[in-house]
Structure 1
Amino acid sequence: MNTGSYYEPTDEHRYKPTPHAGGAWATDEQHFSPLGGLIVHAIDRYLAAGPDNGLVLSRISFDILGRLALDECEIRVETIRPGRTIELLEAVVLMADRPVVRARAWLLGSGDTSAVAGGGADKLTPPEALTPWPMASVWPGGYIASLDVRPLAPPQPGRTTAWISTGLDLVAGRTASPLASFIALVDTANGIAVRRQPTEWMFPNIDLTVHLHRQPEGNWTGLDTAVTFGPTGQGITSTVLHDTAGPVGHAQQILTVRPL
């Protein structure tokens, strides 16, 4: 198995994770972050097989339906709502013929709106000016060990801003789009700003929703993240997403919070 990637393709629509995709809550499971990028990669391949309509992925929501075993998966993509300026796609990840993730992606028409662009957050300090942080000191698993994490300041309980990058390919032998590579790092947000130690409390997310006002570029994913725990077992991880040119959108994750 190629160890320079998170996934190996086994046929046109099937992929086998490498140890680098290993999860943080359980190392024999997949971390959702690279799987989210893999789903976008499958959507990219589906769109590339049809005519170019100029639409861009502007929102994607992932619902995690069950345990993500560190095993081969199949990804099926279909068009739910076709259109010339707005389109809705659905991707389903199956393991042993059982759906484990459902994702829906809205694609919107693009045009020149630079004359009215604005309203986003300020740019972050560039990653080259920052010192790496050993995130593996907090979390186990092959995925976390594969990351270059550079916080703008020492991580605080429930609040951290950090750059995330990796030297690994998403899929061995296949070129991933900048968007797929960017999304492959977004789910890391729930682990960079832990409110309580994961050896004492569990707070896994059961979903991830990403809204984009601009398509990301480059090799770094910036996560400006805040985590809130409620009093009855639910929590929210909220993130402003950045590339090195500035903000690109937002991500939200709903958490189930419980003591170990």
Structure 2
Amino acid sequence: MANEPFFQIEGTHYVPTAAARGPWNPNSLHGRVIAGLLGAEIERLHGSAEFMPARLTVDMYRLPDLSPVEVVVRPVREGKRIKVIDAEFISGGVSAGRATCQLLKRTENPAGNVWKPPSWEVPKPADIEPPTDGRSGMGGMWATRRIEGAFGTVGRKRIWMSEVRELVAGRPLTPFVRVAVAADFASPFANSGDGGLEFINSDVTVYLHRQPRTEWVGFEVVNHGASDGVAIGECFLYDEDGPIGSAACAALAQRRMGG
């Protein structure tokens, strides 16, 4: 990947680059890089081929600036069938977010059939034309292939997304990190409407029954609700072979700076 990564490594810290800026404040980080880095550090230190990262929950309770970041990882439980790992996102010496990841021992599915929703039948990313304006997701933060619906509209929304840069310089994206850094997109995708995006998410939770086998992750909005300035949003997640899990978030009503 030739594009600038979101973070550079300096000693024990991760230094954000300009690519990591978020949409709400030009001097703050994007939520997706917070979730992505927390998930990446948990996987790097405690992941293994025998365990599936089945759930990642990230709380984002402070909008961090572009200060160097330290991620502190703490095991809660490391059993034979289940691991629970916590991680804290510390920006400029101040705690800005935290994550809990549950990793489950891989085994065989039991016999029998269980109901599940039908998988989507959509064009592959290679069969969809890139955006005609030359831009792709916030000026190139990611690559996208729109399937149905768009920001600024009310109705069904489905899209393919692929990362175009490393999260951390020199560390190739793993399948889990691809999902972790993309999952925050569930909030703007589910919570935007004909008035644009006026909700900022305070968390994101990803559930996975398998990891993506390709570089493209598909999002399909399946839920949105809002009362008294508090919203929830949910998307089903896919890769090119079918469903892989879901991403959900809570959000607060908020306007961008200068809005």
Cα distance between partner residues in 2 of 1:135 and 1:7? 28
Q: Which residue of 1 aligns with 2:157?
A: 160
State the shift of 1:98 in Å. 1.5
Q: Which amino acid aligns with 1:197?
A: G
- CA contact under 8 A between 1:227 and 1:235: conserved in structure 2? no
Cα distance between partner residues in 1 of 2:5 and 2:133? 19
CA RMSD after TM alignment: 2.6
Point out where structure 2 has 5 or more consecutive residues left out of the alignment.
none
Cα distance between partner residues in 1 of 2:83 and 2:133? 38
- CA contact under 8 A between 2:16 and 2:68: conserved in structure 1? yes
1:186 alignment partner, one of 174, 183, 186: 183
Secondary structure of the 1:44 match is: helix
Cα distance between partner residues in 2 of 1:96 and 1:4? 22
Q: Which residue of 1 aligns with 2:39?
A: 40
Q: Which residue of 2 aligns with 1:21?
A: 20
- Which digits, 9 at most, give the CA deviation of each residue in 1:10-65, with x for residues without a partner? 124x21111111101222211111221221111122126xxx58222100100001
1:132-151 to structure 2, matched below 5 A, reads: 132-133=130-131, 145-151=140-146
Range with greater deviation from structure 2 (99-108 or 145-154): 145-154
Cα distance between partner residues in 1 of 2:231 and 2:135? 23
2:217 alignment partner, one of 214, 221, 235: 221
Q: Percent same amino acid at aligned positions?
A: 24
- CA contact under 8 A between 1:190 and 1:227: conserved in structure 2? no
Q: Which residue of 2 aligns with 1:8?
A: 8
Range with greater deviation from structure 2 (154-163 or 249-258): 154-163
Q: Which amino acid aligns with 2:172?
A: T
Point out where structure 1 has 5 or more consecutive residues left out of the alignment.
none
1:125 alignment partner, one of 123, 128, 147: 123
- CA contact under 8 A between 1:24 and 1:139: conserved in structure 2? no
1:85 alignment partner, one of 81, 86, 91: 81
Number of residues of Structure 1 aligned to a counterpart in Structure 2: 250
Change (3 A) 1:195 1:237: same
Cα distance between partner residues in 2 of 1:158 and 1:226? 11
For normalisation by structure 2, the TM-score amounts to: 0.86
Secondary structure of the 1:29 match is: coil
Q: Which amino acid aligns with 1:208?
A: V
For normalisation by structure 1, the TM-score amounts to: 0.85
Q: Which amino acid aligns with 2:8?
A: E
